Amino acid sequence: MLQGGEEDDHPYIRVLETPAPPRPLLVRYLQPISWSVMGFGSGFVYNLFAKKPMFAGIQRHIGLGLAGWMAGVYIEKWLQSSAAERDAVLKHYIQLHPEDFPVPERKKYGEILEDWSPLR
């Protein structure tokens, strides 16, 4: 097991600790918007099967849309927390078992690419 600050020097841990770039606005609100649209649309489906006019009981549409928004926000937070928990578990495992994660040696392109002779 690594002692002191040695575990921070491992390149895999540095990758896990690198902050993610800011997410675009649409991606940030994609879950709430999609769940809100599904909730709002379920009011139309209910009216279709109940053989009512499309916008009858508009309060149901609005309520289901708001419930869908709240469900989308909850699902987005749950996804973010599960991803953070997964990263924490991976980081902890790498800290406990650094011998399972050898640091790859750096190579130049000249060492990787094979000699090429064109066929003419």
For residue range 67-85, what is the model confidence (pLDDT) as tens digits? 999 999 999 999 999 999 9
Dist. CA 80–CA 40, nearest whole Å = 25
Contact between 71 and 38 under an 8 Å Cβ cutoff? The reply is: no
> 52: which DSSP letter?
-
* pLDDT at residue 6 in the model: 52
Contact between 95 and 7 under an 8 Å Cβ cutoff? The reply is: yes
Look-up: residue for tokens 């419930």? Answer: 67
User: How is residue 95 written in tokens?
Assistant: 């800290």
Whole-structure pTM over 0.75, yes or no? Answer: no
Dist. CA 93–CA 77, nearest whole Å = 24
